Amino acid sequence: MVRTVYVNGEFVPEFEARISIFDRGFLFADSVYEVIAVLEGKLIDWDHHIKRLKRSLKSLDIFAPVNAKELLEAHRDIIKLNKLSDGLIYMQISRGSSERNFIIEDNYKASIVMFSQQVDLLGPHRLSRCLKILTLPEERWMHRDIKTTQLLAASLAKTKAHDLGYDDAWFVENGFITEGTSSNAFIVLKNNKIVTRKIGKVILPGVTRSSILEAAIFLGLEVEERPFSIKEAETAKEAFITSATNFIASVIEINEQIIGSGKVGRITKLLREQYIIDMKRTSV
Ligand code: PMP
C-alpha cells in the first residue's frame, strides 16, 4: 500500500514527498523527532510527546511555525488517510535549509515531515518477547536528553548487537548503564524495587519511562532513580526496556547472564498490563 505522508502542510503519496538536499536535518542531523504509538486509531501519550517535542525544539532554538493543535490534527489526518489502526507515527522537525554552513543563521524555515508505520503493537509475539542484551561502551554525544536525529552511534551499536546474536545493546558509561539504543533501561531488585537511571543529560527522558513509573507507583511498587552497574543488572531479578513502540519489553539475558527465571518477570507483566489500561484510557 502506498502511504500518504505529510510534508510541510501537505499530504502526498510517499513517493512524491520531497525535502531539500540543503536541509540541515539531512546535512547536520539538525532536527528533532517524536515517535508516537497508535492503538485502535488513537494516539498514545500525546501530551507527554508534545511537551518533549517543544523542549527539544527550545533546547536547539529551532522555531517551528506550528502549534500542538495543528500537529494533533495532522496526526489524526495521517491516521485517517492511511486507515491506521495499530502502529506509529514518526514526526521530524528540522531547522530547514539554506546554503551549507556550520554557522547557524537565523533565517531558517523549519521543515516538518510525518509518516505512519503499521505495526501490530499488541500482537502476542510482541508482548511475549524476551530480549537478550549486550552491553557496549557509550559513544553518543553529551546531550542525550534532546531527541535529535543524531542516531548513528545508536544504530551502529544496535546493528553490532544484532550481528553478534543479541536483540539490542545497553550503553555503559563509567561502569553504569545509561539506557538502550532506542529505549530506557530498568532492573528489578530482589526486594521488588524498580531501578532506572535518573533523568538528566545522559539519557532521553522517555515518555514511556515516565508513564511506566506512574503505573509502578499506582501499583504500590517502590522506584529508585539512580545509576546501576553492569553487575547489578546481570544479577537482577528482572529487567526490561520501555519505549513508545515497545511499551515495556522483558529482558531475559544481559551479556549471556540469565536474568531471574529467564522468562517474562511478574513485575514486568504487572506493569505492562497497567500501562496498557492507562494508555487506552488516555489516548486521543
Ligand atoms: N532512549 C532512547 C535513546 C530512545 O531513542 C528512545 C526512543 N526513541 C527512548 C529512550 C524511549 O523513549 P520513548 O518512551 O519516549 O519512546
Ligand 1 centre to CA of 99 (Å) is: 32
The amino acid occupying position 11 is F
pLDDT, position 128: 87
State mean pLDDT over 101-105: 95
Q: Give the contacts of 34 (CB within 8 A, at least 6 positions apart).
A: 49, 50, 52, 53, 90, 91, 147
Ligand 1 centre to CA of 151 (Å) is: 11
Ligand 1 centre to CA of 183 (Å) is: 4
Ligand 1 atom index nearest CA of 34: 8
Question: Pairing state of beta strands 247-254 and 10-13?
Answer: unpaired
Domain boundaries, the chain: 4-120, 125-282
Determine the CATH number of domain 4-120: 3.30.470.10
Which of 197, 243, 246, 248 maximizes ligand 1 atoms within 8 Å of its Cβ, making it the mutation to test the pocket? 243
Q: pLDDT for 129-166, tens place per residue?
A: 999 999 999 999 999 999 999 999 999 999 999 999 99
Q: pLDDT for 206-247, tens place per residue?
A: 999 999 999 999 999 999 999 999 999 999 999 999 999 999
Ligand 1 atom index nearest CA of 151: 5
Determine the CATH number of domain 125-282: 3.20.10.10
65: pLDDT confidence band, cut at 50, 70 and 90? confident
Which residues surround ligand 1 with Cβ inside 6 Å? 35, 179, 182-184, 204, 206-209, 242-244
State mean pLDDT over 255-282: 96
Q: How does the average pLDDT of the chain come out, rounded?
A: 97
Q: How many CA atoms lie within 13 A of 66 on its CB side?
A: 24
pLDDT, position 108: 92
pLDDT, position 107: 87
87: nearest Cα among 34, 40, 140: 40
